[in-house]
A = this chain, B = another copy of it.
Amino acid sequence: MPHLHTLFIILDGLGDSSCERLEGRTPLQASTQKNITRFLKHGSTGLLTPIAPGVPPSSDTAHLSIFGYDIKKEYPGRGPFEALGSGVYLKEGEIAFRANIATVEIKGDHIIVLDRRAGRMPSEETAELAKMVNEELGNVDGLEFELVPTLEHRAVLVVRGEGLCHQVSDTDPHETGVPLLKSQPLEESENIKGSLKLSNALNKWTVKMIKLLENSPLNEKRRKANLPIGNIFLARSPGVMTKLVSFEDKWGMKAGAVAAGQLYRGVALMLGMDLFDAPGATGLPNTDIGSKLKVALSKIDRYDFMFVHIKATDVFSHKKDPLGKKEFIEKFDSALSIIKEDFVKSNVLVITGDHSTPCNRGMHSGDPVPFLLAGPLTRIDGTTHFDELNARKGLLGFIRGEDVMPLILDATERTIEYGTRPSPRKVNYIPRDLTPLKISEYSR
């Protein structure tokens, strides 16, 4: 029996709060929704709390949670997702940090951060400095340190060595005008010795590179051009490369993904999804949403689950621009016109966010996100507008990250009754490896 396919659209940071500049409405409430409305008629809404009430998720933990991963047990830290998404492939056990070339100034015994991006240094210059650091500081305390430059001021710092634990704090203070921080084992580290080894070496590597970079030919040039020099690589968001159970192995659904942002590409790759590029997709407000949807639709027949990620809603929220967010939502709504209303008579459509990023805050919050589920078997709850307040009255009620995949399995008829027909694999969804009984094996 062929199963229904699912188009799963995440608008990053979609949930919001009442905005003064929108007369007390949220961007979703204020938006005109010509096309979303067509799908509301075929489905149910609810409010999704990705982790728990009051807990603002990072984008990677939000996605993992929604895709049914237990982030308390299965989350290996952010670094590897960012690395994978930037095309840096790691081996199991390797540590990855996100790194930025930055401008610092020494004040007494402290290192003060002046510019966290060294004036958004161009890619080739960041690469030149990274190369210098790799050549001179490729080995600290027996650990291998390698900077892999990616885009503009960004790089991935890979650390290799025996017995390391990624659970250490950042050297990056995440703001300017303040001292660089000492990396230390996290309180919750599962291997304090391994964390100590890593953080010590990272601190040494960090301090040593300042002198090395300060008088590099490139920085001499930048000083003359009155540009901020790049004299340090800040490290943040460590993680360890881990082989997670693939999405397909977890849920029995072959998955594809259309995403432009590096982190989301990394999440898709880490979960074994097939990643597709869409022309004009940028991960920015200027992205071509229609192009992304077109690619997703063109592939959906070959994928049980097609994940589409759209970033710009979150970008407007971080810029505290509710009007821009509302207009972008309307742009998304217009792009939806390429999906026929009949789509949900033979497929399942989900539209939701990974978390809320209220414009009045400019940061992720723990507020729930509107969730729309439409398909041929879904209860119709009569919601007329897709937003935080109306979704609260929807038939799905309040759901958590961990409920999302079971709801998809049920909406696509992949479930079997709990307690009956136990399979060799799992009790509550359709088994894929039933073995016929062979007479020859048992007739003796």
Contact = CB atoms under 8 A, between A and B. Distances in A.
Interface of A: 17-18, 24, 26, 47, 51-58, 60-61, 71, 75, 77-78, 106, 109-111, 167-171, 173-174, 179-188, 200, 203-204, 206-208, 236-237, 358, 360-361, 363-368, 376-382, 388-389, 392-399, 403, 405-411, 413, 415-428, 434-443
Contact of A365 (B77, B410, B420, B426): B410
Contacts of A406: 52-55, 366
A179 B381 CA distance: 42
A407 B54 contact: yes
Secondary structure at the A interface, as helix, strand, loop or mixed, is: loop
Contact of A442 (B207, B365, B394, B438): B207
B366 A427 contact: no
B56 A416 contact: yes
Contacts of A410: 54-56, 365-367
Question: Across chains A and B, which 10 residue pairs bring their CB atoms closest together, nearest first?
Answer: A54-B406, A179-B436, A61-B419, A54-B407, A58-B417, A58-B419, A53-B403, A54-B410, A182-B437, A366-B410
What number of copies of this chain does the assembly contain?
A: 2
A85 to B, nearest CB: 15
B415 A379 contact: no
A111 to B, nearest CB: 6
Greatest chain B CB density within 10 A among A377, A393, A424 is at: A424
A413 B389 CA distance: 22
A363 B392 CA distance: 28
Contact of A443 (B169, B207, B399, B411): B207
A14 to B, nearest CB: 14
B435 A181 contact: yes
Contacts of A403: 52-54
A258 B306 CA distance: 48
B395 A395 contact: no
B438 A110 contact: yes
